[in-house]
Amino acid sequence: MNNQDMVEFRWHGRGGQGAKTACLLLADAAFSSGKYVQGFPEYGPERSGAPITAYNRISSERCGIHSNIYEPDYVIVVDEGLLSCVDVTAGLKETGAIIINSSRTPDELRAHLNGYQGRVCTIDANRISRDILGQVFPNTPMLAAAVKVSGVVDVDKFTSDMEESFHHKFASKPQVIEGNMKVLKTSMEEVQG
């Protein structure tokens, strides 16, 4: 199969941080944009706090590949602490990017990336969610950063689709909708790299 426009993502997080949820939301957003999508976690003995991995494939053509992703275009690291115990850059294409939840700059983190020479992006997802939502929910800021950095879906369409999704999910909690929309917009503005 020679699907030239396929974009592949690998998510690294810890159980309970929402990496799987963000992965599935990215798949929903791409599907709403008319793309073919795959979004799936790699299951194992995960428990709260244990490292987890999730994957996305997004394309304008149907994809017949049904395996984990070994050479992603983009890697999203929801927990910076994983840099010391997981090879998050394994197979990462240097034409893509790695997006890390961190208060540090991309240059400060480059030394921890096993010689990766591609684009390094950071976003302080913990601070953004804590400041806006009052709690640490890094998945929504990381999702917004992934969309902004990759350009895999139109940002305006993504924002509109997410607002509609939040209205369905949080119909009885309008304050949650407003907070999550602010998190998305702030995250797209603040991602560095």
Q: What is the pLDDT of residues 110-165, one digit of tens each?
A: 999 999 999 999 999 999 999 999 999 999 999 999 999 999 999 999 999 888 88
For domain 7-190, is the CATH number 3.50.50.60? no
| Domain regions of the chain by residue span | 7-190
Residue range 93-104, pLDDT digits in tens: 999 999 999 999
SS (H, E, C) the chain: CCCCCCEEEEEEEEECCCHHHHHHHHHHHHHHCCCEEEEEEECCCCCECCEEEEEEEEECCCCCCCCCCCCCCEEEECCHHHHHCCCCCCCCCCCCEEEEECCCCHHHHHCCCCCCCCEEEEECHHHHHHHHHCCCCCHHHHHHHHHHHHCCCCHHHHHHHHHHHHHHHCCCCHHHHHHHHHHHHHHHHHCEC
Query: Tens digit of pLDDT for each residue in 50-72?
Result: 888 999 999 999 988 888 999 99
Asked if residue 37 has pLDDT above 70, the reply is: yes
For residue 44, what pLDDT is reported? 63
Q: Taking the model in full, what pTM does it have?
A: 0.92
Of residues 166 and 188, the one with the higher pLDDT is 188
